[in-house]
Amino acid sequence: MSAISDHDLEEPTRRDFIHLVAGSAAAVGAAGVVVPLVHQMNPDASVLALATKEVDLSSIEVGQAIKVMWQGKPVFIRRRTAEEIAVAEETPVSDLPDDRSRNLNDEALDASDTARTTASDGVARPEWLVLVGVCTHLGCIPLGTSQGEIKGDYNGWFCPCHGSHYDTAGRIRKGPAPENLPVPPYEFISDSVVKIG
Ligand code: FES
């Protein structure tokens, strides 16, 4: 067995030092990579802004509707007339092809007009109807929001792709669409501003 020389004792010490320095540099480098990755995983303000949409309703007259985009989908907001509300309220749920609310603010409700106009705070505001404007048949965008567009047999919306008719509460009444137009999550953050999403 050979004796351990001074050289053997010194060499590992130098190597250890080099490894220690290299390891520290790698750790710093890894931390530098991890921080931006974690940062990227936190949704920033612009992403959150896309997830929700605030809409000022103050310029919408009674009887008018607007279309806004939310998460890449059209959303119809209609300020209904007293007559439109009355007709929708008087329609028995038992007459409807789809008797569910399809309201993401409360999916357990039936398709009554009150349920269709209920916001996330549980309050129904019959004057305002908020809908995702995508036909529940095959995804066309129904007509009836812009002035002069055909509104179908029930004075709501009409999908020209295959002839689905929705009423003044956005409920399917005739045609191949199987479900009412969905009501997105929304809340009124003031009397005239609604936040969708
Ligand atoms: S996509 Fe609307 S009726 Fe077919």
**Model confidence at 120: pLDDT above 80:** yes
What confidence score (pLDDT) does residue 194 get? 98
What confidence score (pLDDT) does residue 117 get? 98
Close Cβ partners of 101 (under 8 Å, ≥ 6 residues apart): 107, 108, 109, 110, 111, 112, 115, 116, 118, 180, 183
Q: How many Å lie between the centroid of ligand 1 and the Cα of residue 178?
A: 10
What confidence score (pLDDT) does residue 68 get? 98
- Domains of the chain by residue range: 1-42, 49-196
For 53-75, the pLDDT digits (tens) are 999 999 999 999 999 999 999 99
What confidence score (pLDDT) does residue 154 get? 98
**Does the domain at residues 49-196 carry the CATH identifier 3.40.1410.10?**
no
Q: What atom in ligand 1 is closest to the CA of residue 162?
A: 3
The CB of 140 under 6 Å from ligand 1? The reply is yes
For 165-188, the pLDDT digits (tens) are 999 999 999 999 999 999 999 999
Rounded to two decimals, what is the model's pTM?
A: 0.77
* Range with lowest mean pLDDT among 15-19, 64-68, 92-96, 192-196: 15-19
